[in-house]
Structure 1
Amino acid sequence: MKLSRAQYDEIVQFVSILSCSRQSLKKLKLRFPSQSQCTLLSIFSQEYQKLMKRTHANHHTPEAMERYYQRYHSRVMENSSAPVLLELANEVSLSPALMARIVLEKFLQAQESVTVSKAVINGMLRDTSLITDRTLANQVLQCTLNDFCYGPLVDCIKHSIGHEHEVLLREKLLENHLAFLEEDQLRDKGYDKTPDFILEVPVAVEGHVIHWIESKASFGDDSSHRAYLQEQYWSYWNRFGHGLVIYWHGFIEELDCHRERGILLKDCFPSDIITLQHTSSGPILPVVH
């Protein structure tokens, strides 16, 4: 779903007053009933991650981390069945999964008196049965299950959704009888940075020749699109020619401003693809799918 910048700004303004909770997502959907839930969730997640990045330094000073750990420890001693970590995260406006990481790291340091590796912490966040303290394990699991923007569960969901949309794009290419090479095939040929699909025979979309297609299971906002342009799209354009990016959850329509330079944006698979096909007598004619 394409949004005008005014529509996008209105959603972002509303998101800025929400916390990271199921109730907030319901409020967002009620406020913007005409927008798809996937679009709203993607914008919500992006804005929340931006907030966490802006405030990261404040929460990760040695003093702040020690303070959070001590507050957790004292509260859990009073009532171990209460969602202490969740409540603490909400109080200081920090992602529950990030709060769980901080407290878990401080707990492990206190147990072992050494700096614990990220790999160990990540493993325990993915599998809380590895945490020896059963109360802390339960608290960490609560944070993981109730965080919509961070944590191992969110990472798995994002990976699955991304893969699902790549499969969908592949099916659309097959339905339209388009020959293509996939990312893995391109890497086998020695390419390092590659789009999801290279078309072996270019097609035309809305009057523009397309050589490659990239799938993004997210909303295309200013910061993410700018980063993708710099790190991916222009590199693809330089190697393979003009291409198409599909933001399945929509994008700010004003960002679709590089068409003449060779990068198109769509929020779905195009329905007006024109290919070149041989007739029985030999000439090549355009065919509209």
Structure 2
Amino acid sequence: MNDRLNSVRDIPRTSKRFKVPEDVLYSIYSQKMVRRTKRDFYLIQRQSLTMLREWRNGKSLLEIAEERMFSPILTASFILKNDGYTKKQFKDLLHNPDSIRDDRFRKEIIDILDADIIYSPQGIENQKNRGIFCEEQIKYWLDDREMEYCTEEESRALERSKTPDFLLKEPYIMDGKSIRWFESKGSFGSPYQTRYDYDNQLSHYLKLFGPGLVSYWLGYVDDISMGKEIIMVDRRFFQNGC
């Protein structure tokens, strides 16, 4: 299924074929593209002059990006930088495409904005809002049970270097474990993503505060485990009133 997700247009038909919700596939696709961006960034950047020639010869920005299976926004940024655009000018294009006078150029900028759900201004805003929404659902769940906690911002004010989203003031007993913290992830827990999160965040919380719970809002691969002291849940845990 992962191999079928190479552009945002692949999501609806993949959802229909595999009976997987589109929001889950958006998350899986986003993670795949972020990994690919990290891997191929400098390789694609070195092709900037070649891509500029292709664009001047008639290929669209989106076509050039899709041929390389790379972010349309970042691809366009490489091309237009070599065409004389500053970072500010490029940012202005993304935020105000309707102000572009040239019909072809305006359409191409709108096309890359629609195609890039990760690095476009709207994509970045959507990711931010999804993260806020998922944290709010955990907050409502904790508040409904009158559980006291320090938020990440409050913990940082106390100069704690590693801070989960919610650090409980009293442990919450679940499955025989004394849960000390809750961490919200508004994404799908793929093998790569869960390993990355464990190595960079969750293992530190475990050492500092003890057992905890991490929520992958859009689900996770069933056979993944983070050990006996970190419980994994998805949105159903909070929606079903557990």
TM-score category by the smaller chain?
Answer: 0.7 to 0.9
**Counterpart of 2:187 in 1: which secondary structure?**
coil
| C-alpha separation in 2, matches of 1:220 and 1:75 | 40
Indicate how the Cα distance of structure 1 residues 88 and 133 shifts in structure 2: closer, same or farther if over 3 A, else same.
farther
CA RMSD of aligned residues (A): 2.6
**1:60 and 2:45 are equivalent in the alignment:** yes
More relative contact order, 1 or 2 (CA 8 Å, 6+ apart): 1
Q: Give the percent of matched residue pairs that are identical in Structure 1 and Structure 2.
A: 25
Q: Is the 8 A contact 1:128 1:141 kept in 2?
A: no
2:23 match: 38
The corresponding residue for 2:111 is: 142
Task: Return closer, same or farther for 1:73/1:128 CA change in 2, 3 Å cut-off.
Answer: farther
| Equivalent residues in 2 for 1:7-18, closer than 5 Å | 11-12=1-2, 16-18=3-5
Number of residues of Structure 1 aligned to a counterpart in Structure 2: 239
What whole-Å deviation, never above 9, does each CA across 1:36-95 have from its counterpart, x for those lacking one?
A: 32222211221233233333333111xx2111112212317xxxxxxx212222233322
CA distance 1:94–1:268, change in 2 (3 Å): closer
2:77 counterpart residue number: 101
The match for 1:266 among 229, 233, 236 is 233
Amino acid at match of 1:123: K
> 2:33 maps to which residue?
48
For residue 194 of structure 1, the aligned residue among 141, 163, 178 is 163
Q: Return the offset for 1:123.
A: 3.2
Per-residue CA deviations over 1:90-139 (Å, capped at 9, x if unaligned) read 23332211221112211226xxxxxx5x5x36733642469987554552
What's 1:69 paired with? 52
Calculate the TM-score normalised by the size of structure 2: 0.87
How far residue 200 of structure 1 moved from its aligned partner, in angstroms, is 1.1
Q: Give the secondary-structure state (helix, strand or coil) at the position aligned to 2:223.
A: helix
- Is the 1:195–1:213 Cα contact (8 Å) retained in structure 2? yes
Question: Counterpart of 1:79?
Answer: none
**CA separation of 1:132/1:125 partners in 2, compared to 1, >3 Å: closer, same or farther?**
closer
Superimposed CA distance per residue, residues 191-218 of structure 1 (whole angstroms, 9 cap, x where no aligned partner): 1320000111111112211000000000
Between stretches 174-183 and 155-164, larger displacement belongs to 174-183
Distance (Å, rounded) in 2 between the aligned partners of 1:240 and 1:49: 30
Q: Provide structure 2 residue ranges, at least 5 long, that are not aligned to the other structure.
A: none
Given residue 195 of structure 1, which amino acid in structure 2 is its aligned partner? P
Q: Quickly say closer, same or farther: Cα 1:43–1:129, change in 2 above 3 A.
A: closer
Quick one: structure 1 residues 65 and 19, their matched pair in 2 at CA, closer, same or farther if it must change by over 3 Å?
same
Q: Do the aligned residues in 2 keep the contact of 1:210 with 1:243 (CA within 8 Å)?
A: yes
Residue equivalent to 1:277: none
Q: Which residue is equivalent to 1:208? A: 177
CA–CA distance in 2 between the matches of 1:18 and 1:246? 24
Matches within 5 A, 1:108-257: 108=84, 116=86, 120=88, 123-124=91-92, 126-128=94-96, 134=102, 136=105, 138-257=107-226
* 2:8 alignment counterpart: 21
Shift in CA distance, 193/208, structure 1 to aligned 2, threshold 3 Å:
same
Query: Aligned partners of 1:220 and 1:19: how far apart in 2?
Result: 19
Higher Cα Rg: structure 1 or 2? 1
- 2:84 partner amino acid: L
The gaps in structure 1 that reach 5 residues or longer are 1-10, 77-83, 110-115, 272-288
- Give the 3-state SS of the residue equivalent to 1:255 in structure 2: coil
